[in-house]
């Protein structure tokens, strides 16, 4: 009798584990005991990217192959030859991906008042936007914002740090 009870317990345990491994139990489907009736999000199928992953990959391509930032001289909104070349690559990228929208963020170095640098960052972002529009990018796909000196790329008080902080950065804003 004792052997029968032990065997019965072992078989019951195996059946309980097997019942929990049914797909309906794992996905929260309607069948099976303990179902909540709510469906759980399933990961994308192999080879299928989520929207967030697709945008992250596109931003990486944009940063590495195209270039996401242009730099400015002190107190200037004038685009250098290098800046125009980067913006030309951005315009070509946007022509290749017509659904992509960009947010252009204007920045300044630490010198000057907060108000002055916010205005300068705004003019830098506008300068980049106007150049892209002149290259055929619809203004409806471009937005601008300014951070002034509030988000420095490089910390420090010297020309090397200041030069890195005088910039406009284009970010994919889908």
Give CA separation, 166 vs 41, 54, 173, in Å.
Answer: 43, 30, 22
Task: Give, for all 174 residues of the chain, the pLDDT tens digit.
Answer: 455 444 545 545 444 444 444 444 444 444 444 444 455 555 556 677 788 888 888 889 898 999 999 999 999 999 999 999 999 999 999 999 999 999 999 999 999 999 999 999 999 999 999 999 999 999 999 999 999 999 999 998 999 999 999 999 999 986
The neighbour count for residue 157, using CB atoms within 10 Å, is 9
Write down how long the chain is: 174
Q: What is the pLDDT of residue 50?
A: 87
Q: 70 near 132, Cβ under 8 Å?
A: no
User: Do the strands 69-71 and 142-148 form a parallel or antiparallel pair, or are they unpaired?
Assistant: unpaired
Q: What is the pLDDT of residue 89?
A: 97
3-class DSSP state for residue 152?
A: coil
């Amino acid at each position: 009798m004792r052997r029968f009870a032990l065997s019965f317990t072992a078989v019951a345990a195996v059946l309980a584990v097997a019942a929990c491994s049914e797909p309906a139990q794992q996905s929260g489907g309607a069948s099976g005991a303990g179902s909540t009736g709510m469906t759980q999000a399933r990961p994308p199928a192999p080879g299928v990217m989520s929207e967030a992953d697709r945008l992250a990959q596109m931003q990486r391509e944009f940063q590495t192959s195209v270039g996401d930032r242009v730099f400015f001289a002190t107190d200037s909104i004038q685009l250098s030859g290098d800046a125009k070349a980067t913006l030309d690559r951005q315009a070509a990228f946007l022509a290749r991906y017509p659904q992509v929208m960009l947010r252009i963020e204007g920045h300044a170095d630490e010198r000057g008042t907060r108000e002055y640098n916010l205005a300068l960052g705004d003019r830098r972002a506008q300068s980049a936007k106007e150049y892209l529009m002149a290259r055929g990018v619809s203004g409806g796909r471009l937005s601008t914002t300014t951070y002034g000196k509030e988000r420095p790329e490089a910390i420090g008080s010297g020309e090397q740090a200041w030069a890195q902080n005088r910039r406009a950065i284009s970010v994919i804003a889908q």
